[in-house]
Amino acid sequence: MTGKPERMTGARAFVECLYRENVEVLFGYPGGVLLPIYDELYDAHLHHLLVRHEQAAVHAAEGYARATGKVGVCLATSGPGATNLVTGIANAYMDSIPLVAFTGQVPSSMLGNDAFQEANITGITMPITKHNYLVQDAKDLPRIIKEAFHIASTGRPGPVLIDMPKDVTTDEIDFVYPDKVELRGYKPTYKGNSQQIKRAASAIAKSKRPVIYAGGGVIGSDASKELLSFAEKIRAPVTTTLTGIGGFPNDNELYLGMPGMHGTKYANYAIQESDLLIAVGARFDDRVTGKLKSFAPNAKIIHIDIDPAEISKNITVDIPIVGDAKNILKSLLPHVSECDTKEWLDKIAIWKRDFPLHYINREDAIKPQYIIEQINEACPDAIIVTEVGQHQMWAAQYFKYKEPRTFITSGGLGTMGYGFPAAIGAKLGRPDKVVFDVSGDGSFQMNSQEMATIVQNDIPIIIALFNNGYLGMVRQWQALFFEHRYSHTTIEDSVDFVKLAEAYGALGIRVEKPSDVRPAIEKAIEANRPVILDFIVEREENVSPMVPAGAAINEILDLERTQ
């Protein structure tokens, strides 16, 4: 750096740091201790989006990060403002999303005194952040912000929290923004071990029944093209986890869909009969593996992951390769050739023919699956963001995703209320895309206050609301495993969603007949404004197929056929 450092307050330095990190959108909510920062934001050349609840700010930042690949940024005040971020931070941690969350804090002199709106947010978030900071001296703020963005976006991405006491924002410093980050002990491994890569190539060459199991790490490392080249070169079928959807084109002949509890039968059968499972940027979570002891019983397992802590955490791995998925797939490609998988692929083709995803359509009731198919036909390039529940699984099963970052959902934490604010972030990050929030009537009500945000800011999101008057997924489990005793899962007639939309100044359209589904979707797209499509769907439709909890994944039930 040349010249004399500029003298400025911590609040001004905060804004300067965001400029240096090329932050485009800051999702936030003000409060007393943040007033110095908000005063600086008044004149800043930075898009600050005022949400109506801090939880929405962090989910919107996540949605922005997932849609763009950039770091999402949110800001909340101390105490309850900070704790309202906790669910979203945990969500980002579980799904490995790059996020920097800033919180205000009471003045340093009052820390530990149970002051008004004091909460130990660094202590609270320690288990759910990749790293967190309590800034104790204003002069450290630029360095800490530089480090936070680096940590959030490198290695296995994740959330970083920076807690800023009020005096840190008012004290004056000589502003110097570091050119580089030096963190002792933090050196993510990006290149795989060459010997392990050769071992993996040898195992692939010997395999007759390989399956590629790809997760969100493929999208996070921008490895979709390499995955496609790899799968087509060795002629191996590909299944993607919930957060990996979009990482492999769904219309490719090698695609198997999602595995696990609500995956396709043929994906589960293929994993169970495989002799080699190649996991790429994927966790072996319980929704995928089912009964651990019965998972992929005959398969040798190769696990490619940037986080060594994931290796052999749930499933014993034969060939671990720690590193970035994109780099390792690139390294593997020259060492592999087409496998003798014709007989294997022929067998899978028969499974696909005999056990396709299916539902029984009706002319007198709207099937949720039909809505997803119609959205797909009307707008195949849309970004689909979901809440959590039955609609989430139908959106994963029936929309044909062709590109990464077009399916955004809460995978690990399963956060109801996530989708709508995440859709706001996705739309701000990708204004060129039509963005749908596929929602249940239960999930939507957890953050429906953000209608005010999208109307005030003219953010054209389409909420495709599957209104069945139930907390649908819980009801499904009560139907299957608790003798249809629907204990506290009925929410019918709780709100008129069309009037709700109109009350906020949005467009509300109620759809009660299958023949009106497609025209309503097209009208919503054409309107290019905030819309709620209130689809009155068949009330007790189940997500099928389904693996009961604790069962092996090939013990999968076709609910339509067993009812």
Which amino acid, one-letter code, is at 370?
A: Y
* Distance (Å, whole) CA 382 – CA 404: 12
Burial 238-264 (b: 16+ CB within 10 A, else e): bbbbbbbbbbbbbeeebbbbbbbbbbb
* Distance (Å, whole) CA 125 – CA 121: 6
Indicate if 522 belongs to the active site: no
User: CA-based angle 34:40:43, to the nearest 5?
Assistant: 140
β-pairing, 6-9 vs 172-175, is antiparallel
Q: What is the DSSP letter of 3?
A: S
| CB-based contact 487:477 (threshold 8 Å) | no
| CB-based contact 118:83 (threshold 8 Å) | no
CA dihedral 328, 331, 337, 339 (to 10 degrees): -10
In the set 473, 476, 478, 535, the catalytic residue is: 473
Residues 6+ apart with CB under 8 A from 164: 10, 14, 37, 102, 103, 104, 105, 135, 141
* Distance (Å, whole) CA 124 – CA 563: 46
In terms of DSSP H, where are the helices of 243-324? 265-273, 286-289
Indicate if 473 belongs to the active site: yes
Tokens of 23: 């932050």
Q: What is the DSSP letter of 91?
A: H
| CB-based contact 248:224 (threshold 8 Å) | yes
- The SS3 assignment for 496 reads coil
* Distance (Å, whole) CA 96 – CA 523: 36
Indicate if 54 belongs to the active site: yes
348: closest CA among 241, 266, 431, 456? 266
Q: Which uninterrupted H or E stretch holds 92? A: helix 86-95
In the set 54, 147, 226, 541, the catalytic residue is: 54
* Distance (Å, whole) CA 160 – CA 152: 6
In the set 116, 338, 400, 482, the catalytic residue is: 116
In the set 8, 24, 110, 117, the catalytic residue is: 117
Q: Which uninterrupted H or E stretch holds 201? A: helix 194-206
Q: What is the DSSP string of 339-393?
A: -S-HHHHHHHHHHHHHS-------SSSB-HHHHHHHHHHH-TT-EEEE-SSHHHH
In the set 146, 166, 326, 427, the catalytic residue is: 166
* Distance (Å, whole) CA 375 – CA 535: 13
Q: Which residue has the tokens 């014709």?
A: 342
Tokens of 496: 């008129």
Indicate if 456 belongs to the active site: no
Give the rounded distance of the alpha carbon of 419 from its chain centre. Answer: 9
Indicate if 166 belongs to the active site: yes
Q: Describe the crossing of helices 390-398 and 472-481 by its angle, rounded to 10 degrees.
A: 100
- The SS3 assignment for 279 reads strand
Residues with catalytic roles: 54, 116-117, 166, 473
